[in-house]
């Protein structure tokens, strides 16, 4: 099939991240009610380590109609005041490469070298992680990344979202929602940058965060909700509250592939240096491939999915992405690419229901304007 060559990236008007950070007060996040954060960073639930130390523990999510759960968190406090960065893993429990990466990152960040506060949400969705479910939680069948900012009187996914919104999102200055290919998704690494248009400063800082993280494919997503009361996504909840944020996708098929674990750790370290929270050189992607249009391609039938393309493959419009067979092995549907682009992920396991994703296609564009 024809391979499409990415166009050269457009020139970026955004300032370098350190220059943007220099213009604002370190640790400028506000606690609920508009109160300024303590100079050395906020308490996160019961965790409030002294400067130059770290603490790990749990955010409790009480029972209400269904079972209680908890969110494992580490707070690492630097020796000098600075921003608070939150890294959130395990929003979908089978996306395990970021979860393992934060376990590796925890002892790598020395409080004596850190400026500001680093918050590690090790597993946002513990019920999904322990039950190995994809997309949705096992108890309420809700997607945690579609119920933000959550409800204290809702189902367990909504209560998890409410606790994370209150204790993590509202208290941080910057946020990364770390995802990977779910247990059924063969996914190539990429980053989402949302240009919401609510705050030029937030949009610019988020763009620089995406470039600092290191993935060369960046999806431009301008269509996320702008309503604080129905923000739906982790990243979006931060951005509508004035917190620059990105979503990263690093890993595939629910396995802790060593290369993908390492890329998650590397992205976090790159961002910490870019934010001036750790010493070291600042790096950013120099020739990103900008994805300006995406489409989740859905299955027209129930049965067994048989992919015909691989992650990262460039395809022409009309290329056969795969076929759906009935449970006896007969082909009942053929699925094609809606436009030319790159396969950001393709479903890699057979089980398939009508309306579920079979692939995610991204069109290569010219970048931000």
Structure tokens at 124: 């946002």
**38-42, 72-76, 100-104, 153-157: segment of lowest average pLDDT:** 38-42
267 shares a domain with 296: no
Compute the distance between CA of residue 16 and CA of residue 79 in angstroms, rounded to an integer: 25
Q: Tell me, what's the pLDDT at 366?
A: 87
**28-37, 45-54, 138-147: segment of lowest average pLDDT:** 28-37
Phi, psi of 126 (to 5 degrees): -65, -40
CATH code, 104: 3.40.630.10
Residues paired with 74 in a beta bridge? 56, 120
Average pLDDT over residues 67-86: 97
Q: Tell me, what's the pLDDT at 16?
A: 52
Average pLDDT over residues 56-60: 98
Helix (H, G, I), strand (E, B) or coil at 93: coil
Q: In this structure, is residue 283 part of a structural domain?
A: no
Q: Tell me, what's the pLDDT at 210?
A: 98
Phi, psi of 228 (to 5 degrees): -60, -30
Give residue 10's pLDDT band: very low, low, confident or very high (50, 70, 90): very low
Q: Inform me whether the pLDDT recorded for 315 exceeds 50.
A: yes
Average pLDDT over residues 186-203: 96
Q: In this structure, is residue 202 part of a structural domain?
A: yes
Compute the distance between CA of residue 120 and CA of residue 10 in angstroms, rounded to an integer: 34
Q: Tell me, what's the pLDDT at 369?
A: 73
Q: Tell me, what's the pLDDT at 296?
A: 98
How much is the pTM?
A: 0.91
306 shares a domain with 192: no
Which of 274, 299, 334 is at the close of a domain? 274
Q: Inform me whether the pLDDT recorded for 24 exceeds 50.
A: no
9 vs 296, more confident: 296
Q: In this structure, is residue 8 part of a structural domain?
A: no
**pLDDT single digits (tens) 261-278:** 999 999 999 999 999 999
**pLDDT single digits (tens) 142-152:** 999 999 999 99
Q: What's the domain count of the chain?
A: 2
302 shares a domain with 252: no
353 shares a domain with 254: no
Q: In this structure, is residue 12 part of a structural domain?
A: no
Average pLDDT over residues 288-315: 98
Q: Tell me, what's the pLDDT at 39?
A: 72
Compute the distance between CA of residue 228 and CA of residue 241 in angstroms, rounded to an integer: 7
Phi, psi of 300 (to 5 degrees): -85, 0
Q: Tell me, what's the pLDDT at 41?
A: 87
CATH code, 358: 2.40.50.100
Compute the distance between CA of residue 139 and CA of residue 128 in angstroms, rounded to an integer: 9
Q: In this structure, is residue 85 part of a structural domain?
A: yes
Q: Inform me whether the pLDDT recorded for 239 exceeds 50.
A: yes
Longest alpha-carbon distance in the chain: 65
Q: Tell me, what's the pLDDT at 37?
A: 63
Average pLDDT over residues 18-43: 56
Q: Tell me, what's the pLDDT at 367?
A: 83
Domain limits for position 294? 290-364
Compute the distance between CA of residue 77 and CA of residue 27 in angstroms, rounded to an integer: 12
348 shares a domain with 261: no
302 shares a domain with 253: no
302 shares a domain with 180: no
Q: What is the CA radius of gyration of the chain?
A: 20
Yes or no: say if 86 and 237 are a contact pair by the CB < 8 Å rule: no
What does the mean pLDDT of the chain come to?
91
248 shares a domain with 146: yes
Q: In this structure, is residue 132 part of a structural domain?
A: yes
């Amino acid at each position: 099939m024809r391979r499409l060559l990415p166009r050269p990236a457009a020139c970026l008007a955004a300032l370098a991240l350190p220059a943007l950070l220099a213009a604002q007060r370190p640790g400028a996040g506000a606690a609920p009610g508009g109160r300024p954060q303590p100079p050395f960073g906020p308490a996160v639930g019961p965790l409030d380590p002294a400067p130059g130390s770290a603490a790990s523990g749990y955010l409790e999510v009480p029972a209400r109609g269904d079972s209680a759960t908890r969110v494992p968190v580490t707070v690492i406090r630097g020796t000098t005041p600075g921003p608070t960065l939150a890294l959130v893993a395990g929003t979908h429990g089978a996306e395990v490469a970021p979860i393992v990466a934060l376990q590796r990152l925890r002892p790598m960040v020395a409080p004596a070298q850190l400026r500001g506060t680093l918050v590690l949400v090790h597993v946002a969705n513990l019920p999904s992680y322990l039950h190995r479910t994809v997309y949705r939680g096992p108890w309420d069948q809700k997607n945690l990344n579609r119920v933000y900012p959550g409800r204290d009187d809702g189902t367990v996914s909504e209560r998890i979202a409410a606790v994370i919104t209150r204790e993590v999102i509202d208290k941080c200055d910057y946020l990364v929602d770390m995802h990977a290919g779910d247990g059924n998704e063969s996914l190539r690494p990429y980053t989402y940058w949302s240009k919401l248009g609510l705050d030029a400063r937030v949009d610019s800082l988020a763009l620089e965060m995406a470039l600092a993280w290191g993935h060369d494919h960046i999806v431009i997503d301008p269509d996320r909700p702008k309503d604080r009361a129905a923000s739906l996504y982790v990243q979006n909840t931060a951005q509508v509250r004035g917190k620059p944020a990105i979503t990263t996708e690093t890993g595939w098929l629910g396995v802790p592939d060593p290369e993908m674990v390492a890329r998650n750790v590397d992205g976090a370290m790159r961002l910490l240096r870019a934010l001036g929270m750790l010493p070291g050189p600042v790096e950013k992607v120099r020739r990103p491939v900008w994805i300006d249009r995406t489409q989740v391609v859905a299955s027209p039938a129930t049965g067994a999915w048989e992919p015909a393309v691989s992650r990262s493959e460039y395809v022409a419009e009309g290329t056969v992405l795969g076929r759906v067979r009935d449970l006896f092995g007969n082909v009942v549907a053929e699925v094609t690419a809606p436009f030319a682009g790159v396969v950001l992920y393709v479903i890699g396991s057979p089980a398939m229901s009508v309306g579920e994703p079979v692939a995610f296609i991204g069109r290569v564009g010219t970048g931000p304007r």
